[in-house]
Amino acid sequence: MRNKINLPLLLLIFVLGSCEAKDNKKSYTVAFYNVENLFDTVDDPATNDDEFTPKGAYRYTEKVYKQKIHNIATVIGKLDAAIIGLAEVENSTVLNELIQQPELQKRHYKYAWFNSQDPRGIDVALLYDTDIFSLVRSYTIPVKMKGLHTRDVLYVCGVLQDDTIHILVNHWPSRREGVRESEPKRIAVAKVNKKVVDSLLGRNSQSNIIIMGDMNDNPDNNSIAQVLGASSKGKLNNPWLSGFQSGKGTSVYQKQWDHFDQIIISRSLSGNKGLHMESAKIFDADFIRNTKFEDAYPLRSFKGYNWVNGYSDHLPIYIRLIK
């Protein structure tokens, strides 16, 4: 007697097997957030932080500080990132209090941070979940340019499960002096990043590199597209260009959206094999935007010098890595 082949059963087994393989893929969120002036309340005589003290212009009391910490922790908790870069944090006191907030206890965050030469005393940092990311080393890379006193670039190397990742966290000089007048400063920082990228790729062309930060330049500006070489075809992939060109952004100036906040990745993370990027998105939940108005700009902490119980003047961004 011949054995009959049950085609519907075979098809069901195939479909279930395919679903199981897909479900076995691991997903990791990597984020960046400019948290807008996350100071403590203590005056640091070495920096210009006087405005953010109880007697300063912002009347930055302990009550305001505690609420600010809570608000930022709420956003980070919603992002639920394995790795998140931060800009505009004052010191380790702030970071220690941040990672101890109840909203972040499902993650086991530690941080990489170093004091920089920024006149206001605000620096960049990287939070990482120690259950997923193992720190190998971290240090700062100074930006050397005559007359420039800016934040260092934070370099962090670690292992995300089985994959070595090189991360550069940035906060480039602002446009306060004017876009053209200040552009050389941002180009100087772009060159520092490019030098690191070239060095890493020179040793291993498949190095996994993530550059994140508030660049104070848009994806199509010279510092990023040409100097750093982050484009659709270069060594670095900038997934935010098309969104910016269609009117999306993370911060607003004179009623125009800018996309200063970016996460840029090496080509090794841009394919569809091994560890690679699945998506890149702006976190634009209603609760961190001023939804009373049609444009729904980011709901910042202060309106003028008055505390309005907001979050930041920037929206966070994140990418999803899968393997």
298 secondary structure, DSSP code: B
Q: In angstroms, rounded to a whole number, what is the distance separating the alpha carbons of residues 225 and 232?
A: 9
pLDDT in tens, 51-102: 999 999 999 999 999 999 999 999 999 999 999 999 999 999 999 999 999 9
Domain boundary assignment for the chain: 26-322
Q: pLDDT-derived band of residue 320, with 50, 70 and 90 as boundaries?
A: very high
Element (H, E) at 71: helix 62-79
Pairing between β-strand 83-89 and β-strand 27-38 as defined by DSSP bridges: parallel
Alpha-carbon 225 to chain mean position: 19
pLDDT tens for 272-298 read 899 999 999 999 999 999 988 777 899
Task: Flag whether pLDDT at 321 surpasses 90.
Answer: yes
- For the ranges 28-32, 43-47, 235-239, 291-295, the lowest mean pLDDT is seen at 291-295
- Give 232's pLDDT tier (boundaries 50, 70, 90): confident
Residue 299 has pLDDT above 80, yes or no: yes
DSSP letter for each residue of 110-166: EEEE-----TT--EEEEEEETTTEEEEEEEEE----TT---PPEEEEEEEETTEEEE
Whether 118 has a pLDDT exceeding 80, the answer reads: yes
Span 26-322: which CATH code?
Answer: 3.60.10.10
Report d(CA 39, CA 301) in Å as an integer.
Answer: 12
CB 126 within 8 A of CB 97: no
pLDDT at 267 over 80: yes
Q: How many CB atoms lie within 10 A of CB 170?
A: 26
pLDDT in the model for residue 323 = 95
